[in-house]
């Protein structure tokens, strides 16, 4: 499986930026969470996940846990984030 297909598989799971914005007080950070799966739906534990924002230079990495899940906490609210996934054999 190509890296692009794996990333597409991640995107179909539903990555989202979560921020709790309230009219009187706006949060300035959110979180990005997701699960890495292959096209058959099997989770990919131990995958390297990189979060990038080329507009700001932000780059963070983490690894998926045994359930294929990952999270990036305290992510500055903004646009133009990209998530890349690398895993052995893909």
- How many whole angstroms separate alpha carbon 36 and alpha carbon 68? 5
Does residue 62 have a pLDDT over 60? yes
Does residue 69 have a pLDDT over 90? yes
Q: Is 38 helix (H, G, I), strand (E, B) or coil?
A: coil
Contact present, 10 and 47 (Cβ < 8 Å): no
Q: Looking at domain 3-86, which of 2.60.40, 1.10.357, 1.10.760, 2.40.10 is its CATH number?
A: 2.60.40
* pLDDT band (50, 70, 90) for residue 90: confident
Average of per-residue pLDDT across 61-81: 96
Its pTM stands at 0.71
Return the pLDDT at 18.
45
């Amino acid at each position: 499986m190509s890296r692009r297909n794996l990333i597409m598989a991640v995107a179909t799971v539903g990555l989202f930026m979560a921020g709790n914005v309230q009219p009187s007080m706006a949060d300035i950070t959110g979180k990005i969470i997701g699960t890495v799966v292959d096209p058959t739906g099997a989770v990919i534990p131990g995958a390297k996940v990189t979060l990038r924002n080329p507009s700001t230079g932000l780059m963070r990495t983490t690894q998926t846990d045994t359930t294929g899940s990952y999270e990036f906490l305290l992510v500055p609210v903004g646009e133009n984030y990209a998530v890349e996934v690398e895993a052995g054999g893909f």
